[in-house]
């Protein structure tokens, strides 16, 4: 008799397989890009060093309405809701990958009537008795042994992908808070510019009235009157542009809050001062960017997820081992169904090994290697862009602050000049052209000052955004 395999060898084979598990593919190590120890000294002149209060940076502007708007944006913004949904998706994908660690168990069942062909099986069943009922009920199970770490690498990739979705949510949060603050400052800046323009309109109306009176008295010609009319109309024509921009900013704020565009008209109708930047701004050190910037953290997690995919691809070079089993009740008569003689079972190890695939597996490994190199380059570039973003924001804040201070002096001098030239014109000691020039200069300088005051605060917002402000590394994940 031919020798038969002993069933006792199956547990031994299982122990050999489990004891020899290896994980193919590279083990991920987070890159350590070089960052400067400090910001360029000239860039941070006038800025303080230390821990920046990034979690709630907007509170340094001391504007309760802005605090309320940011809170409402965090609760209602639709981009933020979409980012939360992406986290939920990534969490579910992680669950799918983790589920491969466990056996698949399927319930099976069938009830059918069969008839054997007399032409095909003439001697199997006596004539007239070739139809039977077949009843079957059981379970099938298979469990892949993660001998080469394919499942382990898949879970690693899914975990890193989940982390990347969390950082994406935090990045959306940072950008959202910064945009709300920026647009809010726009609203206040446009209101200030409108106030300055309306004040200049009143001044220029007074000049028009003065020239008209002097013209009727025969003291000046018609040219002074026409020039005064032109100057007034030019300033009045500028105001509708400012009001249009103001309306667009209000509408944008409404949408950022996840509300209809016109929602905030009543709340923002009363003009208020442009929020003032604090006298001292903490900027921290460059190395903190790798911990604080969600886009850098997201790029690192994406690289980790892709690195694990190399191991998943390499595992396809080797055979897949699994344990399979089946247990069922099979019977052709209902009375025999679910009885001991109707039991049927099978179990044991199995493997599947692709011996030829035309190079598809090895080319897939090359694809995963190339994708990993792409994401490594993207990560390193993201770090450089983050450093550039902060450096530019620091320069913009410092230099715009200098410009604002100069504009304040310019406005003060222009107001004094308007007062002086008005007196000189009334006494006939200067011509109307000097009046026009000083009024235009005052209008231009006041408008530039209001815009600059807003820009200083917006550049401060840009600093906090560039530093990754608006969240905390220890903050809990969104629960909805």
CA distance 264 to 61: 20
Q: Say if residue 182 is in the same domain as residue 303.
A: yes
- Distance between alpha carbon 80 and the CA centroid of its chain, in Å? 8
Residue 419, helix vs strand vs coil = helix
Q: Say if residue 136 is in the same domain as residue 279.
A: no
Q: Report DSSP letters for 313-332, one per residue.
A: HHHTTSPEEEEEEEEEEEES
Residue 393 lies in a domain: yes
Task: Note whether 436 and 160 are within 8 A (CB).
Answer: no
CA contacts within 13 A on the Cβ side of 462: 20
Which of 352, 373, 404 is the last residue before a domain boundary? 352
pLDDT digits (tens, 9 = 90+) for 360-405: 999 999 999 999 999 999 999 999 999 999 999 988 998 999 999 9
Structure tokens at 201: 């309109």
Distances 331 to 334, 335, 336, 344, 415 between C-alpha atoms, Å: 7, 9, 6, 10, 105
pLDDT tens digit at each of 480 positions of the chain: 333 334 444 444 444 444 457 889 999 999 988 888 777 765 666 665 555 567 889 998 999 999 999 999 999 999 999 999 999 999 999 999 999 999 999 888 888 887 766 666 555 555 555 577 788 888 999 999 999 999 999 999 999 999 999 999 999 999 999 999 999 999 999 999 999 999 999 999 999 999 999 999 988 899 999 999 999 999 999 999 999 999 999 999 999 999 999 999 999 998 899 999 887 777 777 888 788 899 999 999 999 999 999 999 999 999 999 999 898 888 877 777 777 788 888 888 988 998 888 999 999 999 999 999 999 999 999 999 999 999 999 889 989 999 999 999 999 999 999 999 999 999 888 899 999 999 999 999 999 999 999 999 999 999 999 989 887 765 556 665
Q: Which pLDDT score is estimated for 475?
A: 57
Q: Say if residue 44 is in the same domain as residue 58.
A: yes
Give ∠ CA 359-365-367 in degrees, rounded to 5: 100
Residue 48, helix vs strand vs coil = strand
Q: Say if residue 225 is in the same domain as residue 267.
A: yes
What burial letters (b/e) apply to 247-277, b meaning 16+ CB within 10 Å?
A: eebbbbbbebbbeeeebbeeebeeeeebbeb
CATH of the domain at 200: 1.20.1600.10
- Distance between alpha carbon 414 and the CA centroid of its chain, in Å? 46
Distances 297 to 53, 289, 293, 453 between C-alpha atoms, Å: 19, 9, 6, 33
Pairing of strands 343-352, 131-145: unpaired
Task: Note whether 20 and 356 are within 8 A (CB).
Answer: no
Q: Which pLDDT score is estimated for 286?
A: 80
Contact residues for 259 (Cβ-Cβ < 8 A; gap 6+): 72, 76
Q: Say if residue 259 is in the same domain as residue 217.
A: yes
Residue 480 lies in a domain: no
Residue 3 lies in a domain: no
Task: Note whether 79 and 172 are within 8 A (CB).
Answer: yes
Contact residues for 421 (Cβ-Cβ < 8 A; gap 6+): 430, 434, 435, 438
Task: Note whether 24 and 314 are within 8 A (CB).
Answer: yes
Q: Say if residue 111 is in the same domain as residue 208.
A: no
CATH of the domain at 114: 2.20.200.10
Residue 21, helix vs strand vs coil = coil
CA distance 455 to 470: 20
H/E stretch holding 248 reads helix 222-256
Q: Say if residue 183 is in the same domain as residue 314.
A: yes
CA distance 284 to 13: 59
Q: Say if residue 457 is in the same domain as residue 413.
A: yes
Segments forming the whole domain that contains residue 433: 24-101+148-318+359-466
Q: Say if residue 136 is in the same domain as residue 211.
A: no
- Residue 96 pairs in a beta bridge with none
Distances 17 to 7, 353, 409 between C-alpha atoms, Å: 16, 15, 82
Residue 50 lies in a domain: yes
CA distance 416 to 420: 6
Residue 1 lies in a domain: no
Question: Measured between alpha carbons, how far apart are the two ends of the chain, in Å?
Answer: 68
Q: Say if residue 213 is in the same domain as residue 342.
A: no
Structure tokens at 214: 């002097």
Task: Note whether 362 and 354 are within 8 A (CB).
Answer: no
What burial letters (b/e) apply to 292-315, b meaning 16+ CB within 10 Å?
A: bbbbbbbbbbbbbbbbbbbbbbbb
Q: Say if residue 186 is in the same domain as residue 86.
A: yes
Q: Say if residue 85 is in the same domain as residue 53.
A: yes
CA distance 451 to 301: 40
Residue 29 lies in a domain: yes
Task: Note whether 308 and 288 are within 8 A (CB).
Answer: no
Residue 467, helix vs strand vs coil = coil
Structure tokens at 318: 């080797």
Task: Please count the structural domains in the chain.
Answer: 2
Structure tokens at 30: 């987070």
């Amino acid at each position: 008799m031919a020798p038969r395999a002993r069933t006792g060898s199956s547990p031994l084979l299982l122990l050999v397989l489990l004891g020899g598990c290896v994980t193919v593919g590279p083990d991920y190590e987070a890159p350590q890009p070089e960052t400067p120890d400090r910001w360029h000294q000239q860039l941070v002149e006038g800025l303080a060093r230390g821990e920046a209060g990034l979690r709630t940076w907007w509170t340094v502007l001391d504007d309760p309405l802005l605090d309320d708007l940011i809170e409402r944006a965090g609760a209602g913004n639709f981009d933020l809701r979409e980012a939360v949904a992406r986290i939920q998706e990534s969490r579910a994908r992680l669950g799918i990958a983790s589920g491969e660690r466990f056996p698949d168990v399927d319930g099976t069942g069938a009830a059918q009537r069969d008839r054997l062909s007399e032409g095909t099986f003439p001697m199997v069943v006596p004539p007239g008795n070739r139809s039977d009922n077949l009843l079957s009920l059981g379970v099938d199970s298979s469990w892949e042994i993660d001998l080469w770490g394919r499942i382990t690498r898949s879970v690693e990739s899914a975990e890193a992908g989940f982390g990347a979705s969390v950082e994406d949510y935090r990045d959306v949060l940072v950008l959202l808070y910064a945009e709300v603050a920026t647009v809010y400052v726009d609203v206040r800046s446009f209101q200030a510019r409108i106030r300055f323009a309306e004040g200049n309109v009143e001044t220029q109306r007074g000049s028009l009235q003065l020239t008209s009176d002097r013209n009727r008295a025969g003291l000046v010609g018609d040219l002074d009157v026409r020039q005064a009319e032109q100057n007034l109309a030019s300033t009045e024509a500028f105001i509708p542009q400012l009001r249009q921009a103001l309306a667009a900013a209000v509408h944008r704020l409404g949408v950022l809050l996840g509300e209809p565009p016109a929602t905030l008209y009543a709340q923002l109708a009363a003009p208020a001062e442009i929020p003032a930047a604090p006298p001292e701004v903490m900027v921290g050190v460059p190395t903190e960017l790798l911990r604080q910037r969600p886009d850098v953290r997201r790029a690192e997690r994406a690289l980790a997820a892709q690195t694990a995919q190399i191991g998943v691809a390499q595992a396809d070079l080797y055979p897949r081992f699994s344990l399979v089993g089946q247990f069922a009740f099979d019977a052709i008569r209902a009375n025999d169904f679910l009885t001991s003689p109707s039991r049927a079972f099978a179990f044991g190890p199995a493997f599947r090994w692709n011996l030829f695939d035309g190079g598809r597996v090895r080319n897939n490994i090359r694809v995963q290697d190339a994708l990993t190199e792409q994401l490594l380059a993207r990560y390193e570039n993201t770090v450089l862009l983050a450093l550039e973003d902060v450096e530019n924001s620091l320069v913009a804040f410092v230099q715009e602050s200098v410009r604002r201070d100069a504009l304040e002096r310019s406005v003060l001098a222009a107001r004094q000049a308007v007062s002086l030239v008005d007196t000189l014109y009334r006494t006939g000691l200067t011509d109307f052209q000097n009046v026009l020039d000083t009024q235009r200069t005052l209008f231009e300088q006041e408008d530039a000052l209001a815009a600059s005051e807003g820009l200083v605060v917006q550049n401060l917002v840009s600093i906090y955004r560039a530093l990754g402000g608006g969240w905390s590394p220890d903050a809990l994940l969104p629960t909805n």
